[in-house]
Amino acid sequence: MAEAKLIDLRSDTVTRPTPQMRAAMASAEVGDDVYGEDPSLNRLEQRAAEAMGKEAALFVPTGTMGNTIGIKIHTGHGDEVLCEAHSHVLDWEHSMMAWFAGCVARAVAAPGGILTWPAIAGALRQGGPNNAHTSLITLEDTHNMAGGTVYPQAAIDEICEEAHRRGLKVHIDGARIFNAATASGVPASRIARDADSVMFCLSKGLCAPVGSMLAGTGEAIARARIHRKRLGGGMRQAGVLAAAGLIALEQMTLRLAEDHANAKLLAEGVARLPCIDFDPSHVQTNIVIFDTLPLSVTTGQFSDALKDRGILANGVDHRRMRLVTHHDVTRADCEAAVEVIGESVSAFA
């Protein structure tokens, strides 16, 4: 008997490569990328640079490696890196900014995960006899743990302008920058225009099986390439991955509004449930985070109850659940998920 399909709302990282990607991977032209001879990868790097409005881009296996190298190229050992208090670079990357770049995070909590220049300005350190100086500001757009929130363009522009005036660099963790672009209507190249570097993921909502891109000036990306090799990320016939990445970049970026509409449907369904105090208007992209506190249940127990009913979803901490929409869940799946979440809430109410 065929197993019942699980509806997987744990993350957009669970997406599988599309049939078109698999076909492109099978027939990809390849060469040795450490010699710069992989034509598919060279094309992807050029297209990614154009999409970000930067001189150059580098293929890396993961977003974590892209952020790690992005931080390394702008900092010196012992510097401070200013980031939002619940940012991915701080909470979910094994302290790579410390481990690889030798930097300390200066965390600033910001409503909705969205930093502003006044919040940053108060936390910058000048350096002196007793303290290290801040050399880099990182922004996360969309902000994962804040529920896929999108930076207002004016906030990014002001942060970049003020940072540059003081000789500081700005790196954007744009793992989901195309979700931000879809929601705001601002092209990714404009979002990242004034940042010194930007990382985005080809995996996650764009469905490539592997890969992220780091974009910046030609000089910065040349240094990034050396750091990638140091981290063991100098790949050989990576064109098989680039072939999927090109489809991710050129085609899958065009369909994200569908995921956002499904997230809205989930959000509105959750907001209608008794005991759940949730404002669906806060959902801007493909991530819905809601509080289960009034149910006096752990998120682990809530996840188990959903799983028993065919829905996979994780807690982000002891009280908040996260639902993420993506290419591999349909509108009907989301409607079914709302029903099941309702049943689980009733069971624990």
Write out the residues near ligand PLP by the rule CB under 6 A: 13, 62-64, 67, 88, 140, 144, 173, 175, 201, 203, 212
Q: Smallest distance from the beta carbon of 148 to ligand PLP, in angstroms? A: 10
Q: Smallest distance from the beta carbon of 63 to ligand PLP, in angstroms? A: 2
User: Under DSSP, is residue 271 helix (H, G, I), strand (E, B) or coil?
Assistant: helix
DSSP structure class, residue 243: H
Q: How far is Cα 65 from Cα 213, in angstroms, rounded to an integer? A: 10
Give the nearer residue to ligand PLP in terms of CB position, either 62 or 237: 62
Burial class (CB in 10 A: 0-12, 13-18, 19+), 39: middle
Beta strands in 78-132 (DSSP E): 80-84, 104-108
| Alpha-carbon distances of 349 from 3, 292, 306, 308, 345, rounded to whole Å | 30, 10, 15, 17, 6
Q: Smallest distance from the beta carbon of 290 to ligand PLP, in angstroms? A: 18
Give the nearer residue to ligand PLP in terms of CB position, either 309 or 320: 320
Give the nearer residue to ligand PLP in terms of CB position, either 21 or 340: 21
Q: Smallest distance from the beta carbon of 69 to ligand PLP, in angstroms? A: 12
Q: Smallest distance from the beta carbon of 123 to ligand PLP, in angstroms? A: 21
Q: Smallest distance from the beta carbon of 104 to ligand PLP, in angstroms? A: 19
Largest Cα separation within the chain, whole Å, is: 71
Q: Smallest distance from the beta carbon of 61 to ligand PLP, in angstroms? A: 8
Q: Which residue is nearest to ligand PLP (CB)?
A: 63
CB atoms within 10 A of CB 19: 8
Closest CA to 139 of 190, 197, 76: 197
Q: How far is Cα 181 from Cα 270, in angstroms, rounded to an integer? A: 25
Give the nearer residue to ligand PLP in terms of CB position, either 211 or 269: 211
Residues found in the chain:
349
Q: How far is Cα 179 from Cα 257, in angstroms, rounded to an integer? A: 8
Between β-strands 311-312 and 7-8, what pairing exists: parallel, antiparallel or unpaired?
A: parallel
Give the nearer residue to ligand PLP in terms of CB position, either 64 or 182: 64
Give the nearer residue to ligand PLP in terms of CB position, either 62 or 153: 62
Give the nearer residue to ligand PLP in terms of CB position, either 41 or 297: 41
Token duo for residue 258: 């569908």
